Amino acid sequence: MKDTLGGSMATSITEILPEVKTFRFILESGVFKGKLFEACLSADCLNPLCACADAKVIAKEQESGKTYTFYMTPDKTLSSNSKHGKSMSDEDKTLGRCFAEELDDDQWNGLLQFVFQQKLAETNKITDFESLEIDLSNEEFAIEQESLCILYNRLFPFAEALRIKHNGKTYLFSDQYCVNSNCTCHDVLLSIADISNADKEIAEPISDITYDYVRGAWWFIDDYGEEQPEIEEMMTANKSVLQKIGKTCKDRHRIMRTIYGNYRERTQGTLPFPITKKAGRNDPCPCGSGMKYKKCCGR
């Protein structure tokens, strides 16, 4: 696929026309061979609470002036239809398939970043968290009876990632929070993955830690063996970055508790199970840490 702006297509978009997400392309084969298109890309779904990352492409053929619209999934395949129920014509689908076939991975990743940026921007616009009505019925029993921790990205799939760069590596922190009604802890469960290898589609966690964002203390949850010295060195060398992550986690924990508390208020009268009573000072902490309540969340 040729890019009429020069250089690789992804580079042209990000450096020349970033604010309008517009690009030009010429297909080199198929029924649209040699045709020049002006195209605009955006997220098909702008709901920040939805994990959908499909892209909507509107392409105008310059010679005829005809406009085509097609939708693509993050794995660079043609989507069957828009999330909003707008169907594609056969010509739309044909152009979409030709576009996908000639688009290389680097070009597509450059375009896909626009979708992620749009979803992140919509996420950052949320300020009234008390008005969000998120269904947590599938997790509620485990939250109350087993102190299940909820991943922040479960509620906000495109929230800004927590990362630390150290010694040429990039570590991704997936943050999970206890929102148990009886728990007042200030801890966050952080699953740490090394995402330095760009070829990895899924980065497996190499360690899990609990981080107390009030005291600035942290400890390993499980024994991961040989990775622990690497994680400990990274955490110790990046205390200032970790403090910033801690401030973010404090805000996110408050948001999670607000959302879950509002959910409980809406459904309190129809709960199918009894709510656990407040733990005694010498009882096991309901957050699941294994410590006594007075030594953990009851401090």
> How far is Cα 183 from Cα 110, in angstroms, rounded to an integer?
43
Q: Is 20 exposed, middle or buried (0-12, 13-18, 19+ CB in 10 A)?
A: exposed
Asked whether 156 and 123 are in contact (CB, 8 A), the reply is yes
DSSP-based three-state secondary structure for 4: coil
- Token reading at 144: 């109350």
- pTM for this entry: 0.80
- Helix (H) / strand (E) containing 145: helix 137-146
| Digit-coded pLDDT (tens) for 143-192 | 998 889 999 999 999 999 999 999 999 999 999 999 999 999 999 999 99
Gyration radius from the chain CA atoms: 24
- In which residue are the tokens 């828009």 written? 82
- Element counts in the chain: helices (H) and strands (E): 7, 10
DSSP-based three-state secondary structure for 112: helix
Statement: residue 198 has pLDDT above 70: no
Average pLDDT on 275-295 reads 61
| Beta-ladder partners of 67 | 60
> How far is Cα 219 from Cα 207, in angstroms, rounded to an integer?
11
Instruction: State the pLDDT at residue 292.
Output: 63
Which three-class secondary structure string do you get for 198-244?
A: CCCCCCCEEEEEEEECCCCEEEECCCCCCHHHHHHHHHHHCHHHHHH
Contacts of 298 (CB under 8 A, 6+ apart): 184, 279, 281, 285, 292
Lowest mean pLDDT among 106-110, 122-126, 185-189: 106-110
**By C-alpha distance, which of 134, 118, 123 is closest to 44?**
118
Statement: residue 73 has pLDDT above 70: yes
Instruction: State the pLDDT at residue 80.
Output: 75
Average pLDDT on 237-266 reads 96
Asked whether 23 and 13 are in contact (CB, 8 A), the reply is yes
Average pLDDT on 208-231 reads 88
Asked whether 298 and 285 are in contact (CB, 8 A), the reply is yes
User: pLDDT above 70 covers what percent of the chain?
Assistant: 79
- Phi and psi angles of residue 215, each rounded to the nearest 5 degrees, phi first: -85, -15
Q: Which long-range contacts (CB under 8 A, 24 or more apart) does 221-224 make?
A: 221/189
